[in-house]
Structure 1
Amino acid sequence: MPDALLEFSGVAYAWPDGRPVFADLSFRIAAGEKVVLLGANGAGKSTLLRLANGLLPPSAGSIAWQGQLLSPSLLRQRDFARSFRQANVLLFQHPEAMLFNPTVREEIAYGPQQLGLADSAARVDRWAAELGLQTLLDAAPFTLSGGQKQKVALACLLALDPQFLALDEPSASLDPATVGWLIDTLLDSGRTLLISTHNLGLAAELGERALILDGNGRLLYDGPLERALGDLPLLQAAGLAHRHRHRHGAATHAHLHVHDWESS
């Protein structure tokens, strides 16, 4: 297997009150891989993405980025932090958590300017055009719709030209045309992707490999996405499918149904 860009080794995480989220997560993601993270609501997908982005330290085990063990002390080192924050980015499920500047223009420019990139204005223009935000550049982010906020947050990340892009329910609030653009842009970008979603139909478009979490902090599956999506017992074990009873006259039988929805 190629050298890992990101590697989890025996990672555990627990909330401050001691409730465990993960017990022993181990997996590797190589440069250029397109990985879809699946699991029922509450399985810990958002927490895993925050761990991968260095926003949370593991309770046990280790996380490595390009062979270097991530630690709070390493992330406090200015040179490493600057390069890591440009290369490894996370799109939050709720974009309001990412937006704090007075205007959309300043939001998109903020990251490149903080990193000292000389072409921040050109980066703003490029991604505003890509995402149809040109007429909103002087608007205050808090006045935008949910879908517009999602586009602004995504533009802020793409303006950094990241190597690794983690996305938490990226299609939430986006219109179908923008979802189509997002799929094409991500798959054609050459970036390494780790994408969390409940939408199994969308998952089939976004990646080639699946990581599936169960409800007990375990990695239930790591393998080809297409195989996972065709395995209804696996999806049922992960809380992504359910058995539903049907009545036809006097006869009753049950079918497995796949959940295909976004969390709110």
Structure 2
Amino acid sequence: MQFQKKEQYRRQEIWELVKGKEEKISRNFQQSGYERIDDNLFAFVNIGYQGHAGQAFPNQYDTDTERLLWYGKKETHSKQPLMKRLIDGAITFYCFARWNDDPNFTFLGTGKLVNYRDNFTEVFNKDGTQTFCLELEFDLGDNSIHPAWINNFDASFEAEPPDTKEGKEKYVRHKTRERDPAVVKAKKDEFQKEHGRVFCEACGFDFKKTYGARGDAFIECHHNVPLHSILGETQTKTSDLTLLCSNCHRMVHRKKDWLTLPQLKSLMERN
């Protein structure tokens, strides 16, 4: 989907780019604050102006840092299936924003989730009663890492040595799960020592064989148990990880219920 940053789009245009002109736009996509299509979430974010109820939308965007504070619908929380998948990086977040009631939205980019917080309470029902929602912070900069790749690529994991255990809650602005880059490197080193090379444990794809030196020692690393499902702090072992090529890794995450390595291999053998 080729959206241009800072360009303006109407909901109908976005729908046609995603679904085609033949399919009628859904009512939810036309009116709601966000809508999921496949593994993509399209957010229509109102920033800084008052809505029909006379309340200013709490969403915030910093043009210098390209950071977005975005709030889910009323009574959303991090344990809901859609929000869990967004937090875990299994869904791509497309941000379209406006600063008035104009029907045009400006595309701010796809975002990397930085932090999230449950029970944001500065939100109200139409009758004035207080309620709650989920607060999420996204980095929409061009150099940010796609949320679906947070646990995969070398630059994300091996740039600096870690000093914390896997899954520890770190307070930056809000609490977020830390992921340990050293265990990923250890897994790859262990695999290299055992097999003499690094390749996909599902299909056998070897990046070095295909791409030469550029692909040497490159592979994605999959957490067999998603960190969001683990309560409290935990120490990840190399046995908790699986090395997968990009294609296999995306197939594991494509549906709500993640595939295990045996299930993925069985699927490949059947087809």
Q: State the TM-score, normalized to the length of structure 2.
A: 0.26
Q: Which has the larger radius of gyration?
A: 2
The structure richer in helix per residue is: 1
Q: State the TM-score, normalized to the length of structure 1.
A: 0.27
The structure with higher relative contact order (CA 8 Å, sep 6+) is: 1
